[in-house]
Amino acid sequence: MVSRREAAQILDIPLEMATRHGLPSRLSSADLARIQENPPAWLVQSRANRTGKRPVWAELRCYVCDFHETTRPKKWWPDFTYVMCDFHEDGELPRPAGGMRRSEWEGVGSRFRGFVDAPAEDD
């Protein structure tokens, strides 16, 4: 059995959409496989509309301790080079490569900080 939330992740749709279209709170793997093999019209439409857009779900995985969660990405999130729990020390990440500058985002997901290493601007 999978939960509705897990089913939404597997189908790559928002949880609200799964609820609106009557996915039960728990589905058997066979039910889920049936939906994937023979998707209802609303699911086909949703997939067609999403081509090339930001993914519905993002997986955040701590570089240090491997804690992870699947969550809805925020518009302002860049492509993080590293993600780690907010209680780890900066020194637990590898140092940025030569010529790279590290930027930090706080409040990512439930407990993460995100880091992006990008070429430093000449100034």
The binding site for Zn ion (CB under 5 A) comprises 62, 64-65, 67, 85
Q: How far is the CB of 64 from Zn ion (least distance, A)?
A: 5
Q: Name which of 17 and 85 has its Cβ closer to Zn ion.
A: 85
Q: How far is the CB of 116 from Zn ion (least distance, A)?
A: 18
Q: How far is the CB of 68 from Zn ion (least distance, A)?
A: 9
Amino acid at 49: N
Instruction: Using the Cα atoms of residue 9, residue 10, residue 12 and residue 16 in order, give the sign of their dihedral.
Output: negative
CB atoms within 10 A of CB 114: 20
Asked if residue 34 lies in contact with residue 11, where contact means CB atoms within 8 angstroms, the answer is no
Q: Name which of 13 and 62 has its Cβ closer to Zn ion.
A: 62
Angle, helices 4-11 vs 29-37, to 10°: value is 30
Q: Name which of 76 and 87 has its Cβ closer to Zn ion.
A: 87
Distance, CA of 73 to CA of 82 (rounded, Å): 15
* Coil, helix or strand at residue 2: strand
Q: Name which of 12 and 69 has its Cβ closer to Zn ion.
A: 69
Q: How far is the CB of 102 from Zn ion (least distance, A)?
A: 18
